[in-house]
Chains A and B, each alone.
Chain A
């Protein structure tokens, strides 16, 4: 079972919204694929809820990515800087 983060240090950072936009998947598409309510995807994207391990793995599988590419304990850098190794000036 996941939980509601109490502090910023407690939060799980993620790229769900970015990946969803990139793949053109709606919240409903993702929610149906991973077996949760569409509002739950909203709670996850807004950082109001940290997912359980099983839900995090299902979301990573939906995007066909390793779980560490979608979720992290530290703030995630923009995907563009990861791909091209450049940072914004």
Chain B
């Protein structure tokens, strides 16, 4: 018997296997979730860039970010449930197919993750040097943060997009 079979599932793993959330595992739902998250991250990055260059006032920027982050939580829950939380679970709770799927997505997104991380630093520095005042510096930090955050999400996005339909 494998380690996966011997290990008692944690509450987190049980949640990812809960049939009440089987609708999130449909390919169309997973892809819609990924698209929604990518658009949301793009909007947050653009809002931060606009605020950093004085196009967007601080108050509007703050509202956009708060609304965006509030929307992100349920959206990411759907995407994560759709991939059965493969990146959040202990290695021992995954079987060989799940480990293969997770590793394949991590490998496929290695370069995009690296590029997004570098871009995060470059854009943050560029926006900060062109920034005038504490509000603009905060916006520069936000641009860097959202790009770094996107780099962290790409493996999950790839997995959610490419996983075959379950039956």
Contact = CB atoms under 8 A, between A and B. Distances in A.
A55 to B, nearest CB: 6
Contacts of B164: 43, 48
Q: Which of A32, A40, A58 has the most CB of B within 10 A?
A: A40
B100 A35 contact: no
A52 B2 CA distance: 12
14 contacts: A1-B100, A4-B104, A34-B2, A35-B5, A35-B95, A36-B5, A36-B95, A37-B97, A37-B98, A40-B98, A49-B97, A49-B100, A55-B96, A58-B2
Nearest to B99: A1
Contacts of B97: 2, 36-37, 39-40, 43, 49
Given A42-B166, A42-B167, A37 B95 contact: yes
Contacts of B1: 35
Interface in A1-44: 1-4, 32, 34-37, 39-40, 42-43
Interface of A: 1-4, 32, 34-37, 39-40, 42-43, 48-49, 51-52, 54-55, 58
A17 to B, nearest CB: 12
Interface of B: 1-6, 95-100, 104, 164, 166-167
Contacts of A4: 100, 104
A2 to B, nearest CB: 6
Nearest to B25: A39
A2 B167 contact: no
A52 B96 CA distance: 8
Contacts of B5: 32, 34-36
A54 B5 CA distance: 14
A36 B97 CA distance: 8
A37 B164 CA distance: 15
A49 B104 CA distance: 13
A32 B96 CA distance: 14
Given A42-B166, A43-B164, A48-B164, A36 B100 contact: no
A37 B97 CA distance: 9
B95 A2 contact: no
Nearest to A36: B95
A86 B121 CA distance: 70
Contacts of A2: 96-97, 100
Given A35-B5, A36-B4, A1 B166 contact: no
